[in-house]
């Protein structure tokens, strides 16, 4: 009997608030987007518009430059850095660069675990997203990338965590 697994899209639920679209973002002081400064939201919205126009390479370059600026301003272990790096992972996914996308999502899951703790809902959601992204990777890449995923989710949540057990089962099925 096939066990039913809930599949999370690697990018979570993409809404205008995900991209930080200024006119649709929550008001200051409420909701998770309130933690993102207005200037960063505007840059993320510009990247989203560029990507939506099919200019993925340009959007990726814009995200790289913004990542550099945000990291210089806030340091490497800050939630604002996590936000832009998740966008970079999403853009890599849109460009079918599986290894890079998975790398960014693993990086941000680890970063969230460091900043927010392994039990934080955002960290748990990040590890579910990276697992779901990995499930969409072609088998030949999935075998190679799965070991890194298993190591990361085990480090973050422990070897008996559901995401670690699912990853292990899937890896075993691939070999």
Which two tokens mark 120?
A: 């934080």
How many CB atoms are located within 10 Å of the residue 125 CB? 15
Burial class (CB in 10 A: 0-12, 13-18, 19+), 112: buried
Predicted confidence (pLDDT) per residue in 11-35, tens digit: 454 444 554 443 333 333 334 444 6
62-97 residue pLDDT tens: 999 999 999 999 999 999 999 999 999 999 999 999
Residue found under tokens 């992972």: 89
Do residues 130 and 102 make contact, with C-beta atoms less than 8 angstroms apart?
Answer: yes
**Which two structure tokens, joined as six digits, stand for 149?**
């995923």
| Per-residue pLDDT tens over the stretch 108-159 | 999 999 999 999 999 999 999 999 999 988 888 888 899 999 999 999 999 9
In degrees and rounded to multiples of 5, residue 35 shows phi and psi of -75, -10
Report the C-alpha gap between 91 and 48 in whole angstroms: 9
Q: SS3 for 158?
A: coil
């Amino acid at each position: 009997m096939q066990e039913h697994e809930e599949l999370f899209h690697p990018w979570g639920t993409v809404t205008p608030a995900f991209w930080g679209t200024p006119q649709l973002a929550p008001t200051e002081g409420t909701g998770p987007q309130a933690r993102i400064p207005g200037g960063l939201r505007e840059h993320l919205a510009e990247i989203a518009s560029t990507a939506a126009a099919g200019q993925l390479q340009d959007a990726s370059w814009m995200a790289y430059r913004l990542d550099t600026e945000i990291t210089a301003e806030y340091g490497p272990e800050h939630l604002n850095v996590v936000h832009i790096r998740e966008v970079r992972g999403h853009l890599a996914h849109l460009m079918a660069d599986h290894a890079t996308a998975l790398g960014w999502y693993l990086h941000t899951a680890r970063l969230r675990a460091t900043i927010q703790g392994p039990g934080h809902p955002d960290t748990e959601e990040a590890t579910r997203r990276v697992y779901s992204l990995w499930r969409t990777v072609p088998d030949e890449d999935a075998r190679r990338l799965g070991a890194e995923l298993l190591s990361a989710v085990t480090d973050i949540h422990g070897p008996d965590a559901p995401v670690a057990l699912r990853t292990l089962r899937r890896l075993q099925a691939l070999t």
